[in-house]
Structure 1
Amino acid sequence: MNKQRAQEIAGSPVMANVTYNEIPIYIQNVDDHNETARIYPLNEPTNEQDVPLSHLIEHLQ
């Protein structure tokens, strides 16, 4: 996923269908410098982690 799209999703009130390792996730914020995103699985909100943007996949409806 590119940085700009990840930032749009993180700032949007509308939930996007994004996965990391085939697990649906929520993007909390994007680190421009490191090109990473702070995410957590939708079913595990306490399991926050920083992952490379390149590993995030948006699934369009």
Structure 2
Amino acid sequence: MNRHRAEEISESPIMANVTYNGTPIYIQHVDDQNETARVFPLDDPQNEFVVQVDNLVEH
């Protein structure tokens, strides 16, 4: 996924189907400079982590 699309998804009120390593995730915030996103698994909202935007997949 590219940074621009990740930003659109994070700002949208509509939930998008996005995965990281096969796990459905929610994008909380996108860091423009580092091209990373703060995400958490849908089934574990307390487990926040940062990933490269390129590693996110929209289905």
TM-score grouping bracket, smaller chain normalisation = over 0.9
Identity level (%): 63
What is the count of residue pairs matched by the alignment?
59
Taking structure 1 as the reference length, the TM-score comes to 0.96
Taking structure 2 as the reference length, the TM-score comes to 0.99
Please name the residue that 1:58 is paired with: 58
Letter in 1 for 2:21: N
Gaps in structure 2 of 5+ consecutive residues: none
Gaps in structure 1 of 5+ consecutive residues: none
Instruction: Give me the CA root mean square deviation.
Output: 0.3
Deviating beyond 6 angstroms after TM superposition, the runs of 4 or more aligned structure 1 residues are none
